[in-house]
Amino acid sequence: MPVNGRTELYGIMGHPVAHSLSPTMHNSAFAHLGMNRVYVPFPVEDVAAALNGFRALGVRGVSVTIPHKQAVIEYLDEIDPVAEKIGAVNTLLINEGQIKGFNTDWLGANRALEQELPLAGKKVLLLGAGGSARAIGFGLLEAGAEVIIASRTQSSGEALATTLNCSWQPLAEAAAISSDALVNATSVGMGAQIDASPIAVQALSNFPVVMDIVYAPLETRLLREARGAGCKGIDGLAMLLFQGVAQFELWTGVNAPVALMREKLLAGLANK
């Protein structure tokens, strides 16, 4: 659909942001549903100025990525209660100059896990204590799951466990734990650690479902070994997809074309 005077503007703010797969995902969904909307990357360093710009230009919705998920909060007019508890915002809904912040990362993680496991009453071992682990942990609690945190650094792990009112274990002892699911929310498996796994292969039989939030590569060593051990594996693209689906549905009020959005994410990932 051509851009014209009625086109609604959406985008993603971050620094850097040129690498993001979100534009291809959201623009494909808008086009598929015949919506006169466009989604573009906004490279942002000055958060306050950017939000004033969004208000002035009539931007309708924005995804927020690194490093602005916390910094954006003080400039909002309103924040969703779950996003406030998480302490991070990844989605802006803008209406008549009023900006409300949401967090759909936890919704994406929950929906990804729920493909294989109903979460209410289940025990989940969550590896990591950073921002992603925090969002996922709050989401699991919202769904009625029990959470165990395991991390390499004791101070940050115990701090997150205190916040979530759950238990903490050293990452080195995670192999002795049994739970209904294991979620890797660390960076182990990507970049310089691409050949590593956060947990010993011998322990994977303790976890019927294993999810890795790393999506580059799509099949991490953890997922490859988990599937080899008979576990159900969920790749990191699922969380990325479903957090985007939640954003799309928040902005538009209609059901997102999930299969198409995953197809476009896969294509975008293959081209990187």
What residues are annotated to the active site?
A: 69
Rounded-to-integer distance, Cα 194 and Cα 187, Å: 9
Separation in Å, CA 30 to CA 8, 12, 248: 11, 15, 9
